[in-house]
Structure 1
């Protein structure tokens, strides 16, 4: 159930709104005010998910109040109410997900409530979670963790055992030569000693997993080793499986795509400095960007612009210097006239570029910023 705050300076209309919202099964009245200033003062305490705002009110209009409320909570969903169907509709959509035309009817409220609920579910799905019942055994994004059947982290007997496992996870369902592993993991040792270490590490790997209650199909032959994995064994394998079978996201794949984005916690293997994983990590990062590109395009197609922006914001938490996705988010802000959000994102991006790379934004992004600032100043 969504908590709703109502701000309407006309008492009879406020009472009607309270009754309609209170009777709706998806909505709950968190607070009702005739004074926009009183509503602003109580907002942080009431913590509404959405707010219905009258456009024309004394002392502080609905659009001005919306800007102040969004500054406190960027995820707050705004619905404007107005008696004038042609009154600054473009301005409404700067901050609002919809608007209601007075006199308010239960049918119109039903339409808006369904939209509010849909966006709330999407945003909730995009928020990171601490744990889930369907967590994979191995997490490879942003870290490298393997958990046993009791949920506890496996402590590997040696760092090379852990790296061996990482390599087999990175290249599953294929034969990996034993000499290849020897050269990769022990390049400074003589052949016999390196091959001996390979055999010992495979034994330790199998034992550690067996002791932790993890079943693994790791076979060996004279040529090498083959690790057979199901798509659910690791977050990396889940992601690969999805990308291999999905060329475009539609309503069939959207929920799964959102879950994959939500589980993305950073680069492959996190801070593990494996010499062989750099190229692979770059390829996976490119696929992650492709997933975000497809999901954003899907939300654009169905008109869910707030979800498109949220998708980009979630991704940029882990890839803040991604030029393409930053540009896409900035363009959405421009299209929706969200000057404050544009400025915040642009300044953050410029600061990170300068601090981490000593670079300036691409010319296209600088031109976009200059044009938008000029347009905002003229308005």
Structure 2
């Protein structure tokens, strides 16, 4: 949600503005003032992201107040309100987002709020700290969703969160409503499970809207279609990369490295949803494919140190992967790192014996014998 300060010298108008803004799901009233001087003094304490300012006020007008507030925080978004349209030029001199004529109506907010949200997202994307492409939803190694304000979302019900997880796993396709109802409420009668589904869809839409998360969730006679940008989640970003690239090269190497390092473990933090096993297998397979591509890229460049680091990090997530263990051991052997080879081989040998009751492949055992 966007934190809003309202400054209006007429108390009845201030009260109306407070009610209108307080009812909007993407806005939160941080403070209201009839005095621009008091608003300026309290700004640092309240830290609003948006200021709705009356243009005509005694002692200090809204445009002068906007100038002073922007000296404190140049990213503050300003929306002016006035009964007179003649101040528009001055309003835009201080880069106002919009200019609303009184009395302000709900439809005025519906027009201006999307611009406020978009502006915040664009500014966040331009900050150096945002260059990592941090998504709103983390699916790999955990399952958490943050709203546009960066706050962790609290879902109204567990089934709402599970339904969101399902749509993230299977986006951009028509999902039969009866299948969804059966997946989420397998023990209920059909009519009851479908009723629960309709309620949960409503809760999901409402929660995402209130959090400022932009998705499309449409209903047809047959079911539902969920559409969202791949940038919404870390898994979506991984999927998009793997769909567009058959190998890592100079153009996509930075993004490949970011997607590799963003992986933190099993899909949805290992949550045991009845339907999620195949989705979790898909995510793990994409991660393994990315590691192979990155390792090949580093080897082509003669960067064995980065190739070994990539494999070590991957094996921290998938320690039993035979192909990747063998590749790391080959890199140790090629570099003449006898001690590193034997330490890793012996650890892998113990793990296979303890977990699966088997031995490493014959070729790796043969190399180890030659190095001892």
TM-score normalised by the chain length of structure 1: 0.62
Question: What corresponds to 1:150 in structure 2?
Answer: 149
In structure 2, distance between residues paired with 1:368 and 1:193: 63
How many residue pairs align between the two structures? 244
Residue 134 to residue 245, structure 1, CA distance change in 2 (3 Å): closer
**Structure 1 stretch 211-220 or stretch 349-358: which is displaced more?**
349-358
In structure 2, distance between residues paired with 1:356 and 1:144: 27
1:284-340 Cα shifts (integer Å, max 9, x gaps): 212211111111111111111111111111111111111110110011001101122
Question: What corresponds to 1:267 in structure 2?
Answer: 266
Question: 1:131 deviation in Å?
Answer: 9.1
Establish whether residue 332 from structure 1 lines up as the match of residue 331 from structure 2: yes
The answer as to whether partners of 1:177 and 1:225 remain within 8 angstroms in 2 is yes
Question: 1:210 deviation in Å?
Answer: 1.9
In structure 2, distance between residues paired with 1:173 and 1:365: 44
Establish whether residue 356 from structure 1 lines up as the match of residue 371 from structure 2: no
Question: What corresponds to 1:307 in structure 2?
Answer: 306
Question: What corresponds to 2:366 in structure 1?
Answer: 367
Correspondences of 1:39-58 after superposition (within 5 Å): none
Question: 1:228 deviation in Å?
Answer: 0.8
In structure 2, distance between residues paired with 1:292 and 1:348: 21
In structure 1, distance between residues paired with 2:365 and 2:281: 26
Question: What corresponds to 2:203 in structure 1?
Answer: 204
Secondary structure, aligned partner of 2:232: coil
1:171-201 Cα shifts (integer Å, max 9, x gaps): 1011111111011111111100010111111
1:96-154 Cα shifts (integer Å, max 9, x gaps): xxxxxxxxxxxxxxxxxxxxxxxxxxxxxxxxxx9976310111101111111121211
Question: What corresponds to 1:214 in structure 2?
Answer: 213
Question: 1:356 deviation in Å?
Answer: 3.0
Question: What corresponds to 1:80 in structure 2?
Answer: none
Residue 349 to residue 244, structure 1, CA distance change in 2 (3 Å): same
Secondary structure, aligned partner of 1:196: helix
Question: What corresponds to 1:238 in structure 2?
Answer: 237
In structure 2, distance between residues paired with 1:138 and 1:352: 33
Secondary structure, aligned partner of 1:218: strand
Question: 1:267 deviation in Å?
Answer: 1.5
Residue 243 to residue 369, structure 1, CA distance change in 2 (3 Å): same
In structure 1, distance between residues paired with 2:336 and 2:282: 35
Residue 282 to residue 332, structure 1, CA distance change in 2 (3 Å): same
Secondary structure, aligned partner of 1:227: strand
The answer as to whether partners of 2:132 and 2:258 remain within 8 angstroms in 1 is no
Residue 264 to residue 329, structure 1, CA distance change in 2 (3 Å): same
TM-score normalised by the chain length of structure 2: 0.63
Unmatched segments (≥5 aa) in structure 1? 1-129, 374-379
Secondary structure, aligned partner of 1:232: helix
In structure 1, distance between residues paired with 2:132 and 2:294: 24
Question: What corresponds to 1:252 in structure 2?
Answer: 251
Unmatched segments (≥5 aa) in structure 2? 1-128
Question: 1:234 deviation in Å?
Answer: 0.5
The answer as to whether partners of 1:334 and 1:372 remain within 8 angstroms in 2 is no
In structure 1, distance between residues paired with 2:130 and 2:347: 30
Question: What corresponds to 1:165 in structure 2?
Answer: 164
Secondary structure, aligned partner of 1:247: coil
In structure 2, distance between residues paired with 1:242 and 1:256: 8
Question: What corresponds to 2:67 in structure 1?
Answer: none
